[in-house]
Chain A
Amino acid sequence: MGKRSVIPFGPQHPVLPEPIHLDLVVEDEKIVEAIPSIGFVHRGLEGLVTKKDFNQMTYIVERTCGICSFGHGMGYVETIEDIMKVEVPDRAKYLRTIWFEMSRIHSHLLWLGLMADAFGFENLFYQAWRIREKVLDMIEMTTGGRVIFSVNKVGGVIKDITPEMQAKILDDLKEVEAETKRIATTFLNDYSVKSRLCGVGILTKQQMIDLGCTGPFARASGLNNDIRLRGYEAYKDLDLEPCISTDGDCYARCDVRIQEIFQSIDLIRQACAKIPAGDIAVPVKGNPNGEAFVRLEQPRGEAVYYVKANGTPHIDRFRLRTPTFANLMGLCEMLKNTELADVGILAVTIDPCISCTER
Chain B
Amino acid sequence: MIELRNPENVLIEIEKGELLAKVAEFKKKNNRLCQICAAYVNEKFELSYSFVDDETNLMSNIRLVVDPSEEVPSVTEIVPDALFYENEMKELFGVKIQNISLDFQDKLYRIAAVHPFGPQGPMGVSDGAEAATPENTVVAKAQAAKADAKPADDKEGK
Contacts and interface: CB of A to CB of B under 8 A. Distances in A.
Interface stretch (B2-10, B66-74, B140-148, B150-158): B2-10
The A interface is mostly helix, strand or loop, or mixed, namely mixed
A328 to B, nearest CB: 6
A235 to B, nearest CB: 12
Given A212-B34, A224-B54, A293 B108 contact: no
Contacts of A145: none
Contact of A306 (B30, B48, B104): B48
Interface in B1-44: 2, 4-6, 8-9, 30, 32-35, 37, 39-41
Interface string A23-55: 000000000000101111010101110110000
A224 B52 CA distance: 12
A321 B111 contact: no
A230 B37 contact: no
Contacts of B104: 37
Nearest to B37: A319
A246 to B, nearest CB: 15
A172 to B, nearest CB: 33
B110 A40 contact: yes
Interface residues on A, range: 35 or more
A293 B81 contact: no
Interface in A309-330: 316-317, 319, 321, 325-326, 328-329
B123 A38 contact: no
Contacts of A39: 107-111
Contacts of B83: 329
Contact of B6 (A40, A82, A212, A227): A82
Given A40-B110, A224-B54, A227-B57, A316 B41 contact: yes
A145 to B, nearest CB: 28
B79 to A, nearest CB: 7
Interface residues of B, number: 41
Given A40-B110, A223-B54, A209 B32 contact: yes
A277 B50 CA distance: 38
Given A293-B9, A308-B39, A37 B34 contact: no
A332 to B, nearest CB: 9
Interface in A210-232: 210-212, 223-225, 227, 229-230
Interface of B: 2, 4-6, 8-9, 30, 32-35, 37, 39-41, 46, 48, 50, 52, 54, 57, 59, 61, 79-81, 83-84, 102, 104, 107-111, 116-117, 122-125
23 contacts: A37-B104, A38-B109, A39-B108, A39-B111, A42-B110, A44-B123, A47-B122, A50-B123, A85-B5, A209-B32, A209-B54, A212-B33, A212-B79, A212-B81, A290-B5, A292-B4, A292-B6, A293-B50, A293-B61, A302-B52, A326-B34, A329-B83, A329-B84
Interface of A: 35, 37-40, 42, 44, 46-48, 50-51, 82-83, 85, 209-212, 223-225, 227, 229-230, 290-295, 302, 304, 306, 308, 316-317, 319, 321, 325-326, 328-329, 358
